Amino acid sequence: MTAVLQVEDLKTHFFTRAGVVPAVDGVSFSVNRGEVMGLVGESGSGKTVTGFSIMGMVDKPGRIVGGRILYQGRDLASVGEREWQAIRGRHIAMIFQDPMMTLNPVLKISTQMIEAVQAHVHISKQAARERCLATLARVGIPSPAERMDAYPHQFSGGMRQRVAIAIALLHDPEVIVADEPTTALDVTIQAQILAEVQKLAETSGTALIWVTHDLSVVSSLADNIAVMYAGRIVEQGRAATVLRYPAHPYTHGLIESIPSRNKRGGDLAQIPGMTPPLLDLPQGCAFRPRCPKATEACRAEQPSRRMAAGQHARCIHPIQAAEVAQ
C-alpha cells in the first residue's frame, strides 16, 4: 500500500532570542489510506508542531529547516503559501483541541462552514449550504438545518467539536490531523467522538493523524503509534505491538504511569525528572538523564533501530519482552 502522506526527516526549528529551539528534529513516519496514526508525547515533545508542519502553518519565529513532506508525489515542505491554501482544508484538514476557541464567536456556524466550502469549490451558497447540512448529519448533529444558523456559544462542547470535525470532513480530505480533539471534553463525550471518528475514518478511507498525550485514547483507536520525546520519535510501530511490548524505556514508563495499570493501594508509577528544556538538550539520547537503563554509551547520537517486525526505537538498551510487566 503506498502511503498517502510520508514525512521524511522533518526538522522544524524556532529561531528565538534565547536561541534555536529544535522543536521537531528529524521526524519520519508515514500514513496509509484509512489508517489511524497516533502521535503520542508529553507537552513540549514536538507533536503539535509536527502537526502544524504538515499543514504548512508553522509561524514565525519557526520554520521548516529540513526534511520532506511527501503528499501525492509533491514535497510540501518547499511549497508556497498559495498552494498551501489550496491544500489546506481540501486535501489535508485539521481539527483543533478547544472547539470554543476554534470557532469565531461572532460569526454564525453557517457562515463559518459555508466559507470553508466556497474557499475550495465554486458552487452557489445554497449548494454549499446543502453540503454543510449533509456533513453535519454525518457527524451526528440532530436537526442540523435549525442549528446551523446559531452562534458557537449556543452549542455544548461536544457539539462544537462535532461541528469542527464536520468542517474538516467537508471536502473529504485524504488526511486529517487531529490535535488533541477530545482533551477538552467530558470523558463520556470523548468516548462517543472517538468511536464516531474511527467509524468515519474506516468508511471514508481518510488517513488520520491523532496527536495526543493520552495513551489510553490511542490504544483503542490507532493502527500505528509514534512516540515523541524532545522533538524526536523515540519509538514507532503497530499500536498493538508498541503497547504490549514497548521497546523504548520512555514508552515503557508512559505505559506504566497510566493510573489504571497500577495496583490498588500501591504507589503510582512515575517517570522521575522532567522533560529537558529544548534549548539545552542533553547530548545524545535526550531521555538519558531520566532513564533507568542509561549508560555512557547513551551519550552518543541514537539512530532509530529496528526491533521487531515493523517496530523501531531509538535505544541501545531496549526493554526486552520478558521485562514488560503484564
Partner 1 sequence: MVAYLLRRLGQSLLAVIAMAVLVFIGVYAIGNPVDILINPEATERQRLEVMERMGLDRPLWEQFWVYFGNLLQGDFGRSFVYGESAMSVILQRLPATMELALFALVLAIVFGVPLGVIAGLKPDTITGRSIMAGSILGFSLPNFWQGLMMILIFAVFLGWLPAGGRGQTTEFLGMRVSFLNADGLKHMILPAINLALFKMALVIRLARAGTREVMMQDYIKFARAKGLSYRRVVFVHVLKNIMIPVVTILGLELGSMIAFAVVTETVFAWPGMGKLLIDSINRLDRPVIVAYLMLIVFLFVLINFLVDLLYSALDPRVRLAQRGAQ
Partner 2 sequence: MTDIPNPTPPQKAKAISPLRASMLDFAASPLAMIGLFVMLVMALSAIFAPWITPQNPYDLSQLSIMDNNMPPGSQSFTGQTYWLGTDPQGRDMLSAIIYGLRMSLMVAVTATLCALAIGMAMGIMAAYFGGRIDTLIMRVVDLQLSFPAILVALILLAILGKGVDKVIIALVIVQWAYYARTVRGSALVERQRDYIAAARGLGLGHARVMFRHLLPNTLPPLIVVATVQIAQAIALEATLSFLGVGVPVTEPSLGLLIANGYSYLLSGAYWISVYPGIALLVAIIAINLVGDQLRDVLNPRLRR
The SS3 call for residue 10 is strand
Asked whether position 146 contacts partner 1 by CB under 8 A, the answer is no
Residue 108 makes CB contacts below 8 A (sequence gap 6+) with 148, 149, 150, 151
Size of the site for partner 2 (CB under 8 A): 16
Q: Going edge to edge, which strands form the sheet with 74-75?
A: 19-32, 3-16, 62-71, 74-75
Cα distances (angstroms) measured from residue 311 to each of 69, 144, 308, 314: 21, 44, 5, 10
The least CB distance from residue 149 to partner 2, in Å, is 37
Sign, Cα dihedral of 314, 320, 325, 326:
positive
- Minimum distance from CB of 319 to partner 2 (Å)? 11
- Does position 16 bind partner 2 by CB under 8 A? yes
Query: For partner 1, which is the closer residue by CB, 55 or 233?
Result: 55
Task: By CB under 8 A, name the one of 145, 273, 297, 321 that touches partner 2.
Answer: 273
Q: Which three cell numbers stand for residue 41?
A: 508525547
189 lies in the binding site for partner 2 (CB under 8 A): no
Nearer to partner 1, 134 or 300 (CB): 134
- Residue 154 binding partner 1, by CB under 8 A: yes
290 contributes a contact to partner 2 by CB under 8 A: yes
Q: Which residue from 102, 224, 236, 251 is in contact with partner 1, where contact means CB under 8 A?
A: 102
Instruction: Report what 16 binds from partner 2, partner 1, none; CB cut-off 5-8 Å by kind.
Output: partner 2
Strands 74-75 vs 62-71: parallel, antiparallel or unpaired: antiparallel
Q: What are phi and psi of 131, to 5 degrees?
A: -60, -40
For residue 48 the three cell numbers come to 503539535
Q: Does 19 bind partner 2 (CB under 8 A)?
A: no
* 8-state DSSP, 88: B
Q: Which of positions 240-269 make contact with partner 2 (CB under 8 A)? A: 267, 269
CA atoms within 13 A on the CB side of 198: 14
By the rule CB under 8 A, 292 interacts with partner 2? yes
Contact between 256 and partner 1 per CB under 8 A = no
Give 144-174 as a 3 state SS string: HHHHCCCCHHHCCHHHHHHHHHHHHHCCCCC
Contact with partner 2 (CB under 8 A) among 1, 17, 81, 105:
17
C-beta closer to partner 1: residue 144 or 152: 152
Specify the amino acid at residue 88: R
Site membership for partner 1, residue 167 (CB under 8 A): yes
Assess 55 for contact with partner 1 (CB under 8 A): yes
* Interface positions with partner 2 (CB under 8 A): 16-17, 267, 269, 272-274, 276-277, 280, 282, 289-292, 294
* Interface positions with partner 1 (CB under 8 A): 55, 57, 85-90, 93-94, 96, 98, 101-107, 111-112, 115-116, 119-120, 151, 153-154, 164, 167
